[in-house]
Amino acid sequence: MITAEMVKELRTVTGAGMMDCKNALVETAGDREKAIALLREKGLARAAKKASRVAAQGIVDAYIHLGGKVGVLLELDCETDFVAKTAEFKELARDICLQVAATNPSYLVKDDVPADILDKEKEILRAQALREGKPEKIVDKIVSGRIEKYYQENCLMEQSFIKDQDITIRKLVAEKIAKLGENMVVRRFVRFEVGEGQVDEANC
């Protein structure tokens, strides 16, 4: 039996509508974890449909960490000024700023990785696999898998969310799109760290 308390609890966890929560629980025979997964899948599907819509509003958020040693500026866009002013949208921007501060990604998305950097990385990974004694016929497959790991470490949208390792930043944004009903785009970011890129004069 699906109780009102079960529906309420699922809504608190997922932020989905009451009927969506109830239907998910009915479909999964009351299994809370399966219902959460189902709502996420449906939310991602809805988000994909909104991805083509223009996101020309939004905010630029700033985050300073470690007593002024690390700073992040990030532009997060949406469709309307109304959503841009909501607490949930601002919280999303802040969470992504925290992600950038903590993980220092080099790129926003996979397509931002320059071809020459990618080719060099593949060469390194291929040589590494051969040194490990991997059979030549499966080396390309191994390299492909390790390149995906490279993307997950270096591209913000492919990284695991620091507050929930089960989802990526891409999925986090998609879930917010589904919940708030507007397309959202992480447009750009920049991370500053005191002393970054400076030569240590003592070692010159």
pLDDT tens per residue across span 126-162: 999 998 888 888 998 999 999 999 999 999 999 999 9
Q: What mean pLDDT comes out for the span 22-38?
A: 87
Residues 114-119 have a mean pLDDT of 94
Q: Are residues 33 and 133 in the same domain?
A: no
User: Which among 27, 20, 60 is positioned nearest to 179, based on CA atoms?
Assistant: 20
Q: Could you give the number of structural domains in the chain?
A: 3
List, for residues 42-78, the tens digit of each pLDDT value.
765 565 666 667 788 999 999 998 789 999 999 999 9
Domain that holds residue 36: 4-50
Is the Cβ–Cβ distance between 14 and 39 less than 8 Å?
Answer: yes
> Considering the domain boundaries, does residue 200 fall inside one?
no
Q: Are residues 122 and 41 in the same domain?
A: no
User: Average pLDDT for residues 175-192, to the nearest whole number?
Assistant: 92
pLDDT at 15: 66
* % the chain with pLDDT above 70: 91
Nearest alpha-carbon partner for 91 in 152, 180, 159:
180
- Identify whether residues 129 and 171 lie together within a single domain: no
Cα Rg, the chain, nearest whole Å: 21
185-193 and 164-168 beta bridge pairing: unpaired
Tell me, yes or no, whether 203 lies in a domain.
no
